[in-house]
Amino acid sequence: MTRKKAIGWFAAALVIGAGGVGFWRLGDGAKEPPYVTTPAQRGNITQVVSSTGTLQAVVTVQVGSQVSGTIEKLSADFNTKVKAGQVVAQLNQDKFKAAEDQARANLLAARSNVEKAKVGVVDALRTLERNRELRKRDLMAQSDLDAAQTAYDAAVAQLEVNQAQTAQAQAALKQATVDLNNTVIRSPVDGIVISRNVDVGQTVAASLQAPTLFTIANELAKMEVHTNVDEADVGNVRERQEVVFTVDAFPARRFRGRVHQVRNSPVIVQNVVTYVAVVRIDNKELLLKPGMTANVQFLVSQKEDVLAVPNMALRFKPPEEKEEAQELLRREQSRAAPRVGAKRTSRQGVAGVRAARRARVYALRDGKAQPLEVQLGITDGSRTEVLGGDLQEDDQVIIGMSSSAASSTGVANPFQPRQGGFRFR
């Protein structure tokens, strides 16, 4: 019995000892590091200015009608390739042909009146000369000679009137011919039809302005992207600058172009000021189409094999500096006074990181957060180049506090655990 009790006490001691060791190991293993760090590493950084724009043909011509009428024929449709002078549509010509015939008849009548007036002038001149001879012989009263002179002058004036009417009739005939010719709609340029706005039988009215029948792109092998660049970024955009962009139709393909023009006229929408930058691109494969939305990146600067840190490391402050950082942030926000919501604030934050030349980061050394002064270079929005300072390659820079450390110090945890990693709050 004594032997069994001894064995029981020994087994109980083993269980208690194992539990204690397990509890100690579990507690030690569950201890979470106070900081979240990442190594400072070398790599490539490309600084860009991002924007969106719309693809357009370099030259787009709207073809309209100068006369009103009914569409009788259509010789072009969507995607039809046309040459300059090629007929693309025709209006009904019956009314215009009748107007031309009437104008021609009026011209003939006017010319006949001119001939008649010429005969009247000759007759009046003959009468005047005969009366002058009779007056010289004192065989006619002076009043009769004056009447003959008046008749001659009236005949000459009538001839001039008829000649003017002939010129008017000729101009009217020319106008009728022009209107008749305008019933045939021709393409003014070589290109491709990208829009057709009429059908056969439709009536077009050109009383106030010329209606648009077709829209013709001069050449789709050369296109433009019209982008709106924010005023905070327009200083980094210049002519001949290289541009990379993507479109939703080909998300895996990167197209290239160059800045052709940065327009000085501002575009102001809800107090947000932007400037139009025109990017010329080569579209020999005809993959890009007018109206597509382009996600554009203007290449400002590019560096290879440089030391860089995450931008989150530039924003990290230890708990003891939290109050000071919050007060500084409030002052900066009051001075910045963003004009629009979160989108504008986000752009200013990126610009602020880009503009700062010196900053302080914290590296984990001997288990403590050590402040290091660094000189900054370019940024790609997520990482920033380190030009100089106390930071060394592979230093563990602090980008935030762990959950347990944040809870114990009363500091809001900037990281929210989720499936697949962390989300910056």
Identify the pLDDT of residue 421.
39
Residue 392 CA to residue 49 CA, distance in Å, equals: 29
pLDDT at residue 400 in the model: 83
Phi and psi dihedrals of 93, rounded to 5? Answer: -105, 0
Query: What pLDDT, on the 0 to 100 scale, is given for residue 354?
Result: 44
Residue 214 domain-assigned? no
pLDDT at res. 331:
73
**pLDDT above 70: percentage of residues in the chain:** 79
CA 395, 401, 403: angle at the middle one, nearest 5?
Answer: 140
| Alpha carbon distances (Å) from 397 to 13, 139, 326, 403 | 47, 132, 21, 17
One DSSP character per residue, 49-66 reads EEEEEEEEESSEEEEE-S
Work out the number of other CB atoms within 10 angstroms of the CB of residue 242: 14
Span of 22-26, 139-143, 278-282 with lowest mean pLDDT: 22-26
Check residue 92 and give its pLDDT.
95
In a domain, 167, yes or no: no
Report which secondary-structure segment, H or E, holds 154: helix 142-182
318 in a structural domain: yes
**Whether residue 337 has pLDDT greater than 60:** no
Q: Which of 219-233, 325-339, 398-412 has the highest mean pLDDT?
A: 219-233
Per-residue pLDDT of 68-95, as tens digits, reads 999 999 999 999 999 999 999 999 999 9
Strands 415-418 and 60-64: unpaired
pLDDT of residue 381: 81
Which of 129-143, 164-178, 246-260, 389-403 shows the lowest per-residue confidence on average (mean pLDDT)?
389-403
In a domain, 20, yes or no: no
> Would you say residue 398 lies in a domain?
yes
Reported confidence tier of residue 100, pLDDT bands at 50, 70, 90: very high
Going through 175-284 in order, the beta strands assigned E by DSSP cover 184-186, 191-196, 203-204, 212-217, 222-230, 242-247, 250-269, 272-282
Asked whether the predicted pLDDT for residue 411 surpasses 60, the reply is: no
- SS3 for 211? coil
For residue 233, being part of any structural domain is answered with no
pTM exceeding 0.75: no
Most confident of 179-188, 383-392, 393-402: 179-188
Please indicate, yes or no, if residue 406 is contained in any of the structural domains: yes
Residue 353 clears pLDDT 70, i.e. is over it: no
Query: What is the per-residue pLDDT across 200-213, written as a single tens digit (0 to 9) for each?
Result: 999 998 877 778 89
The answer to whether residue 378 scores a pLDDT higher than 80 is: yes
Domain that holds residue 399: 31-43+306-424
The answer on pLDDT for 111 being more than 90 is: yes
CB-based contact 240:292 (threshold 8 Å)? no
Please compute the mean of the pLDDT values over residues 388-400 and round it to a whole number: 86
Assess whether pLDDT exceeds 80 at residue 325: no
How far is it, in rounded angstroms, from Cα 223 to Cα 227? 13
Asked, for residue 104, whether it belongs to a domain, the answer is no
Q: Check whether 271 has a pLDDT greater than 50.
A: yes
Kindly tell me if the per-residue pLDDT of 62 is higher than 80: yes
Q: Identify which has the larger pLDDT, 66 or 350.
A: 66
**21 vs 25: CA distance, rounded Å:** 6
How large is the average pLDDT for residues 216-221? 89
- Give the CATH number, domain containing residue 325: 2.40.420.20
User: Can you state the angle between helices 142-182 and 94-136, rounded to 10 degrees?
Assistant: 160
- pLDDT band per the 50, 70, 90 thresholds, residue 256: very high
* Pairing between β-strand 250-269 and β-strand 272-282 as defined by DSSP bridges: antiparallel
Domain count, the chain: 1
Q: Which own/partner pairs from 119-126 qualify as long-range (CB within 8 Å, at least 24 positions apart)?
A: 120/155, 120/158, 120/159, 121/152, 121/155, 121/156, 121/158, 121/159, 123/155, 124/148, 124/151, 124/152, 124/154, 124/155, 124/156, 125/152, 125/155
